[in-house]
Structure 1
């Protein structure tokens, strides 16, 4: 599990360095996770300690939403002023993510069925 935690921290560190070095608006943690994704795609598989660490963190994922919820409570005035814009962007983002997810699922399902035919 220690190897998995160290792997996650290394990729986050690299992402933070890239974000600060190039003054990007994207958070370093997001860049680090994209780099981890690219690493795992190139490697074509994960390793046990990373899987164990991720499973452990996923069990406690709901706890990470508590600070975000508290932030929303403290910004009630701003949210009420911009309610229409926030609602429209949430609706459009939800519809787009559902559509893209459905297309990807359809693509991978068709790819798998073609693979099984041969």
Structure 2
């Protein structure tokens, strides 16, 4: 029960960061979504060690585990725009496919580089 309550507080904290990101977006009048500003805010605070990963980890893991449920409203919303899907569906699909491949490629490349760096650091520690 305690882990569930902790996760709920962490999700609320993540929602707060998203709301702060929306506020920043409105203040700056930029086309960048507020959620991106919230994400950058969380990243900056984690990087500067103002907040610790443990303060968000359970809530973030919960949200990631249930990510597909969060896309259900978007998928249902597509039904309302059937005419748009008929006219531009191929283009939309291509954009989604290309961006997905790019994200997967860049994520894999970044993970590989970070993994190699970590292995090199650990290898140096073993021999030092």
TM-score computed with the length of structure 2 as normaliser = 0.75
Identify unmatched segments of 5+ residues in structure 2: 1-5
* Equivalent residue for 2:120, pick from 91, 114, 117: 114
Partner of 1:79: 85
Residue 21 of structure 1: CA displacement? Answer: 0.9
Render the CA deviation track for 1:58-110: whole Å, top value 9, x for unaligned: 44433211101111111121011012321221222122112212211221121
CA distance in structure 2 between the aligned counterparts of 1:67 and 1:109, rounded to whole angstroms:
36
Between the aligned partners of 1:115 and 1:88, the Cα distance in structure 2 is 40
Separation in 2, partners of 1:78, 1:42: 45
TM-score (normalised: structure 1):
0.81
Distance 2:68 2:25 in 1: 27
Are 1:7 and 2:13 matched, yes or no? Answer: yes
Give the 3 Å change call, closer, same or farther, for CA 6–71 of structure 1 in structure 2.
closer
Q: Distance in 2 between matches of 1:102 and 1:58?
A: 18
Q: Aligned equivalents of 1:67 and 1:100: distance in 2?
A: 28
Alignment of 1:6-85 (within 5 A): 6-43=12-49, 45-48=52-55, 50-85=56-91
Query: Secondary structure of 2:94's match?
Result: helix
**Number of positions where the alignment pairs a residue of Structure 1 with one of Structure 2:** 117
Deviates more, 1:51-60 or 1:64-73: 51-60
- Separation in structure 2 between the aligned mates of residue 60 and residue 88 of structure 1, nearest angstrom: 26
Partners of 1:3 and 1:67 in 2: CA distance: 24
